[in-house]
Structure 1
């Protein structure tokens, strides 16, 4: 997510964050709720109930948005909270993609390809920021939310059009391939961005 989109996102999430603070919710509680939603999503996807899977992926995304918004609204942000959010987000991605894999509706290689790409996109950013001391390496074409939207579109399309499989791939497999490709491209973009920033820092002394 680029800087302008991040600012717009934070602005629109402030109202929801303030509401969560008023009713006594904490960021870490919301983070764990997001993880639970992803586990439920994985179970219903495994059962092949893709429409319910979409519902719980949406709930996972909403609660993932709310933890940061609540932390900002209530001035409750902590370093550990940020680490917890980052780690549990990766577990959530793993659970959701595993549910799709176990559904038997796609070839196993495509959800594995997608989840590996999503994890590497995240890892390349965190490596640049923690090891390279780069303030923000959140560059790339497609963010986590957009990837989930593509996956949900694929789930809906394969639910309503199960027999449509151009080139021997169903519509969910095509969505997973897209997510995997753009995720790996994002990881490479972040590596190049880190190299550029480190070279610039070295030149400036």
Structure 2
């Protein structure tokens, strides 16, 4: 239920931004609220006993670092990071939603979904670190 509510408000926020035009504050709030939503979502999966604490924390760290690496790389001047990484937030939510639906018929579906997310989010982080290293190492004379 929380997943549906979170996704509904995320979509609603996107509609408002498209209708009224995006703002810096809106972008900041959107990203911040997305992280809060991710936190409660994955903590709920952990506390609900659908996965182990270890797997849940690996997913949570991967989810946060996926978003952080994107934000940091963009803040350092890369405009478009689309396609760098196999599992962005826009992919995580539908995957978890499918896992939650499949859980109705297959009791281990959420556990396996969390395994997929643990692997995918952390591969994405590694891909973004490699991307940043290649992108910024060629310009390593630049200082912050």
Are residue 192 (structure 1) and residue 130 (structure 2) matched? yes
Deviation at 1:109, TM superposition (A): 1.6
Residue 113 (structure 1) aligns with: 58
Where structure 2 has 5 or more consecutive residues not aligned to the other structure, the ranges are none
Residue 6 (structure 1) aligns with: none
Secondary structure of the structure 2 residue equivalent to 1:147:
helix
Contact between 1:134 and 1:194, CA under 8 Å: does it hold in 2?
no
Distance (whole Å) between structure 2 residues aligned to residue 199 and residue 65 of structure 1: 37
Distance (whole Å) between structure 2 residues aligned to residue 111 and residue 91 of structure 1: 15
Secondary structure of the structure 2 residue equivalent to 1:142:
coil
TM-score by length of 2: 0.84
Deviation at 1:202, TM superposition (A): 6.0
Give the number of the structure whose alpha-carbon radius of gyration is greater.
Answer: 1
Distance (whole Å) between structure 1 residues aligned to residue 81 and residue 47 of structure 2: 33
Where structure 1 has 5 or more consecutive residues not aligned to the other structure, the ranges are 1-52, 163-169
Distance (whole Å) between structure 2 residues aligned to residue 137 and residue 109 of structure 1: 29
Distance (whole Å) between structure 2 residues aligned to residue 99 and residue 62 of structure 1: 18
Deviation at 1:201, TM superposition (A): 4.8
1:133 corresponds, among 51, 69, 77, to: 77
Distance (whole Å) between structure 1 residues aligned to residue 140 and residue 48 of structure 2: 50
RMSD across aligned C-alpha pairs, in angstroms?
Answer: 2.0
Change (3 A) 1:195 1:84: same
Contact between 2:87 and 2:120, CA under 8 Å: does it hold in 1?
yes
